[in-house]
Amino acid sequence: MKNHILIVTSNSSGDKNIENTGVYLEEFAVPYLIFKATNYNIDVASPKGGLSPVDIRSMSCSNPVEWDDCIKILRQTKKISDLNLDKYDVLFFSGGHGPMFDIAYDDEVKKVVEYFYQKNKIIAAICHGVVALISAKDKNNNPIVKNKKITSFTNKEEHIIKFDEFMPFLLETKLKELGANYIEMKPWSEHVEVDNNIITGQNQNSATLLAEKVIEKLN
C-alpha cells in the first residue's frame, strides 16, 4: 500500500512590515519532488485552501524547470479542515516566512499536529515551517517540543537577512522558551534533527536531507 503524505503550506504573503513573502519555493519543491519520485500519494493543503503564495525572493531563473509545476500546485491547495486525516502517514510543513503570520496561530493546524502526535505518526517541518509545532500539546498538556531535539531557521540566520525586526517573534527563541532541546549549526548549514517521529530542518539547504530522513522513517 502506498504511503500518504500531507504537505501543509501557508496562505500568508506577510504583513505591512514584510510583503511578498510566503512559501520559500525550495522548501516545498524539493521535498515534494522527492516524495513524488518515490511514488507516494501527496496532498497539499493550507489553512484556508486555495492560493499558497510563493516568496518572490525564492523565485529565480536558475531554479530547476520542474519547480514551475510546484508553483501551479501551490495555487490550488486543499483546505485542511476538509481532509480525512486518518489516511495520512506523514505531516510535513514547508517553510518560508509566511507560516510566521498564519500557521503559527491557526487552531486547525494545532489540531492536526496534535492528532498526528497522538497517533505517533511522522511530523516533519523545515525552516519557519517548524512554527507549526509551537502550539501543540501532548496528553499531559505539555508542549510537544518540550525536551525534543528540534532545529529551525535560527536567530543568527534571521539577523543575517535582516528580517528579525519584521517577525512577530523569533522562532528559535520561542522554541527554547517552550523547553525544546534546540540545536543549531552555523548559518546555512545542511542540518536536520530527528527525535522519534519529529523531524526538523534548519533552512532551505536542509530540504533534501529532511525529505530523505522522512522516507527513511517510512521504510
- Helix, strand, coil shares of the chain, percent, nearest 5, are 40, 20, 45
How far apart CA 79 and CA 47 sit, in angstroms, is 6
- Reported residue count of the chain is 219
Question: Which amino acid appears at position 185 of this protein?
Answer: M
Segments of the chain scoring below 70 in pLDDT: 1
How far apart CA 19 and CA 16 sit, in angstroms, is 6
pLDDT value of residue 2: 78
| Nearest one of 198, 76, 33 to 132, comparing CA atoms | 198
Q: Which residue has 496534535 as its cell numbers?
A: 114
Instruction: Give me the residue spans of the domains in the chain.
Output: 4-218
CA dihedral sign, ordered 86, 88, 90, 96: negative
How far apart CA 98 and CA 31 sit, in angstroms, is 18
- Looking at the domain that runs over 4-218, which CATH code has it been given? 3.40.50.880
| HSE (side-chain half, CA atoms, 13 Å) at 142 | 8
pTM assigned to the model: 0.97
Helix ranges restricted to H, the chain? 25-37, 67-73, 107-118, 155-160, 171-177, 207-218
pLDDT value of residue 1: 55
The Cα angle at residue 2 between residues 68 and 190, in degrees rounded to 5:
50
* Reduced 3-state DSSP string for 130-160: HHHHCCCECCCCCECCCCCEECCCCHHHHHH
184-210 pLDDT tens trace: 999 999 999 999 999 999 999 999 999
